[in-house]
Amino acid sequence: MEEVFSKCKEISLYINSNQENCARNELIKLLDQLERSKIEYTPIVNHLIRQVGLFPYLKVDHSIWQDRLIYELFKVDIGTDKPVTLHRDQSVLLKRLLNGENIAVSAPTSFGKSFVIDAFISIKKPKNVVLIVPTIALTDETRRRLYTKFADTYKIITTTEVILADKNILIFPQERAINYVNQIDNIDILIIDEFYKASSDFDKERSPALIRAILQLEKKAKQRYFLAPNISDLPENPFTKGMEFVRLDCNTVFLEKYNWFKKIKRDEGLKGRKLLEVLNQKKAKTLIYAGTYSEIDKVSKLLISNLPDTGTELLNNFANWLCVNYGTDYELIKLVQKGTGVHNGSLHRSLSQIQIKLFEESTGLNNIISTSSIIEGVNTSAENIVIWKNKNGRSPLNDFTYKNVIGRGGRMFKHFVGKAYILEEPPQNEHIQLNIEFPEGLLANVDEEVLRKELTKEQLAKIILDKEEMYDLLGKDVYDRLLNENSFQSSKLDLIKNIATDMRGNPQKWNGLGYLNSDSVNKWDSLLYNMINLQPSAWEIKWGTYVNFIKVLSRNWERTIPELIEQLNDTEMTVDMFFKLERNTAFKFAALANDVNVLQKEILKNKSMDISPFISRVSHAFLPPVVYQLEEYGLPRMISKKIDKTGLIDFKDSDLTIHKSIELFTRIGKEALIKETASLDEFDTYIIDYFYEGITVNALSI
C-alpha cells in the first residue's frame, strides 16, 4: 500500500502543476496495476479519478460522499435499462449538443463517442437523425447498437427503399445517403462519423461522395455534429461553415509503445520471430496491422507454419463451416485453426462481422490480421496492436492512420493499458491539419452563387464550364432535373461526361441493352464490355475474366460459392478474388450500369430500354434483395438459403422488404426457426444467435 500511496502523491503533484494529461496517464497505469493485483481502490485513488475527470472509473463503495455524488450527477440515459456515468469531456460535449451547437470534434479512439450520440437521442428525442458512416460494416455495428436501444420508438433505416416513419434514425454510408436525400425533408441532427474522409488527403476515391452528401444533407439539417480522431486543426472551408472545431485529448486508456523496429531494421526473419514472440505471450487479443493484401498473405503463412492449433470447439466449428460454405482450399480455414482471423475491405460483410464477434469471445479468435479496414469498418480494440508494415495499400502509412491504428490498443473497463509493438519504422509525428477542399469534377447540384465567397475564381469558373459542357450534351432542363433527382450514383463528373459523349458519338454500340434484363447471359458480352470500357482501370482483373465472372455470378442464388468458383474454371480464381470481384460488381459496376441507364433514356430515346431490373440484380450480387441486405445484419446467404427451403420465409417474394423480414424473424422466434430449419449445423446456430441479438430491443448490455 505504501507504493500505491507514493504513486498517488506523484499523480497529485501533476494535477497541482496543471499537467493533467500526465496525471491521467499515470493514474490509468495505477488502475491497471490495482486491477491486476485485485487490490481495492482507496478513497484517495477514487478522489484522483474524480480530479482528472474519469468519473466512470469511480468505485463508489470506497469513495468519499463528494465523489459518490459526482458519479451520480454525471449519469445520463443512453437508452439502456440503467443510466451510464459519462466522463467529464463526454458530459461537456453532450451539454453543448443539447444546447443546439454545431460542433466538429476531434477526440481519441477511446473517448466513448457512441455514449454521447446515444445520450443525445435519449434526452433530446429528435424526430429525424441522419448518421453517415464510412463503411457498410460500420453501418451494421451502429445499427445493432441503436436498434437494441431505440427500435421501440424509432424506425432504424439502413437501406434506401424504406419509407420514413414518424421518428427515424437513418444510418447510411455516403453513397446511400445521396440516394435518400429527396425522401427526407427535415433533419434534426446530421452526424458525420469519421468526417476526415471528406478530405482527398485521406480518401481520394470516396471523398467526393461524402462532400456531395454533406452539401445536400446540411441544407435540411437543424444541427450538425461531425466526429474524427487525431485532428489538430480544421481550416475554414465551405463544408463545416458555422461549426466550431473542438479538440479533446481525454484518453481513457494508456498506450505503451515498444519500438522494436530499431533492432529489427530490415531483417524480415527477426521481424517474423518478434511477431511470434508477441503472439506466444499470455493469451491476449491482438490486432496485426499488415497494411496490404500481400502482407496479410505473408503474415498468414507465417502464423499457419508456426502457431499451434487452438483446439477450441467454437473455432473448430467455424473452420468446418468455412470448409462447407467456401471450399476446402480457403486459406482462412487454416488460420482459424490457429486462432487467427482476417479483416479486409473485400470479405463478405457477414463473414467480417462473424470474425469480429469471435474476436470478442474468450474461446474465439485471439488475433486478427488486417488492412486499414479494421479502423474504417468496426469499433473494435485489443490489448495488443502490432504494426507489421508501414504501408496503407500502395501508399506509405501516414501519421494519421498510424495513430488511428495504435489507438485501438486498450479498452475502457477491460484493458486499462494497451500495448503497441512497432515492427517497422512509423511515420514522423505530424501536426495533422484537415484540409477539406471542393473536389475538381465533383458531380453535385451546386449553386455557384451560394458558394461564391467560399470558392476560388478558378473553382467557380470550372463549375460553370462543367455545367455548360453537360448542358450541351443533355440540355439544361434535363441535366438540372437529373441532378435535382439525384439520378446519378457516381459523384465524378468526368465519368458522366464520358458516358454521355460515348452515347452521342456511338449510339449503335448500345443496341440491345434490353438483353441484360433476360437470363440469356451469352447475349450480355458486348454490352458488358461496352460498360467496363467506360471505367477501364476499375475492375482489377482482365476484362474477359470479369465479363465471365458477372455471367457466372448471375447463378449466385442457385449455386454455392465453391460451385461458382469451379464453373469459372480459372486457376487464379481464389475465394479472396471472388470476394473482391463480387464487391466490385455490386458497387462499382452496379453504379456504372445505373448511370448508363439514366443517360441512355435521355440520349437514345428512339432505342431506350429501361435496364433497372438488371441493375437491381447486379446491385444485390444476383441474390434476392433481402438476402443480400441481411448479410449486412450478420446473416450469411448460406443460412438464408436453408431458411428459404423450409418455407418459413419466402426470400424470393418481390414484396418482401428488409423490415418485413425482420418482423417475420421476430414473429417466428429464434428457437422455432432453429427447430424448423433441420439442415442447420452447430455454427449456423451460433450465427443465428448473433443475428437475433442485433434485431432484439435491449438485447445488448453496455
User: How would residue 369 be classed by pLDDT, with cut points 50, 70 and 90?
Assistant: very high
Grouping H, G, I as helix, E, B as strand and the rest as coil, residue 132 is: strand
Residue given cell 497505469 in the structure block? 29
**Alpha carbon distance 277, 297 (integer Å):** 19
Q: What is the mean pLDDT of the chain?
A: 91
- DSSP code of residue 585: I
- For cell 422455432, what's the residue? 672
For residues 411 and 158, which has the higher predicted lDDT (pLDDT)? Answer: 158
pTM (predicted TM-score): 0.91
pLDDT in tens, 192-243: 999 999 998 888 888 888 999 998 999 999 999 999 988 999 998 888 989 9
Share of the chain above pLDDT 90, in %: 69
CA 27, 51, 411, 288: dihedral to nearest 10 degrees? -60
Checking 216-220 for CB contacts under 8 A at 24+ apart, the result is 216/178, 216/181, 216/444, 216/445, 216/486, 217/130, 217/132, 217/177, 217/181, 217/187, 217/190, 218/190, 220/181, 220/184, 220/185, 220/186, 220/187
Could you tell me the three cell numbers for 39? 487490490
- CATH superfamily for 84-247 is P-loop containing nucleotide triphosphate hydrolases (3.40.50.300)
CB 454 within 8 A of CB 241: yes
Cα(697)–Cα(81) distance, integer angstroms: 11
**Cell numbers given for 563:** 460451385
The pLDDT value given to residue 285 = 92
- Domains of the chain, by residue range, sit at 2-73, 84-247, 255-422, 488-619, 625-693
Q: Under CATH, which architecture does the 255-422 domain have?
A: 3-Layer(aba) Sandwich (3.40)
Give me the helix-helix angle, 113-124 and 88-98, nearest 10°.
Answer: 40
Residue pointed to by grid coordinates 477511446: 110
Count of residues making up the chain: 702
460-469, 510-519, 684-693: least confident range: 460-469
User: What DSSP state is assigned to residue 39?
Assistant: P
DSSP state of 270: H
Residue 699's pLDDT is what?
Answer: 44
448 — pLDDT class (breaks 50, 70, 90): low
Does the pLDDT of residue 440 top 70, yes or no?
yes
Q: How far lies 637's CA from each of 95, 324, 616, 628, 644, in Å?
A: 44, 13, 17, 7, 10
> pLDDT value at position 135?
83
CA distance 328 to 25: 48
pLDDT at 698: 56
Question: Range with the lowest mean pLDDT among 446-450, 477-481, 638-642?
Answer: 446-450
Residue 372: which pLDDT band, with cuts at 50, 70 and 90?
Answer: confident
Buried b (16+ CB within 10 A) or exposed e, 648-683: ebebeeeebbbbebbebbeebebeebbeebeebeeb
How much is the pLDDT for 569? 81
pLDDT higher than 70, residue 702: no
pLDDT (0 to 100) of residue 700 = 41
Residue 634 pLDDT greater than 80, yes or no: yes
Please say if the pLDDT value at position 32 is more than 60: yes
CB environment 618-636: b (16+ within 10 A), e (fewer): bbbbbbbbbbbbbbbbbbb
Q: Is the separation of the CB atoms in 310 and 338 below 8 Å? A: yes
Specify whether the CB–CB gap between 673 and 640 falls below 8 A: no
Separation of alpha carbons 383 and 430, rounded Å: 25
Distance CA 474, CA 478 (A): 6
pLDDT at 268 over 50: yes
Q: Which amino acid is at 338?
A: K
One-letter amino acid at 537 equals S
Residues near 614 by beta carbon (within 8 Å), at least 6 away in sequence: 516, 517, 593
CA angle 201, 231, 48 (to 5 degrees): 160
Rounded CA Rg of the chain: 26
Q: Reply yes or no on whether the pLDDT at 390 is more than 80.
A: yes
Paired residues of 286 in beta bridges: 367, 384
Whether 84-247 and 255-422 share one fold: the answer is yes
Q: What percent of the chain has pLDDT over 70?
A: 97
Three-state DSSP class for residue 8: helix
- Could you give the dihedral angle defined by the CA atoms of residues 89, 94, 96 and 99, in that order, rounded to the nearest 10 degrees? -160
The CA-atom distances, in angstroms, between 497 and each of 19, 113, 215 are 57, 41, 21
pLDDT in tens, 113-130: 888 999 999 999 999 999
H/E segment holding residue 244 = strand 244-247
Q: What is the pLDDT of residues 237-253, one digit of tens each?
A: 888 989 999 999 888 99
| Predicted pLDDT of residue 453 | 67
**Looking up cell 433476360, which residue turns up?**
518
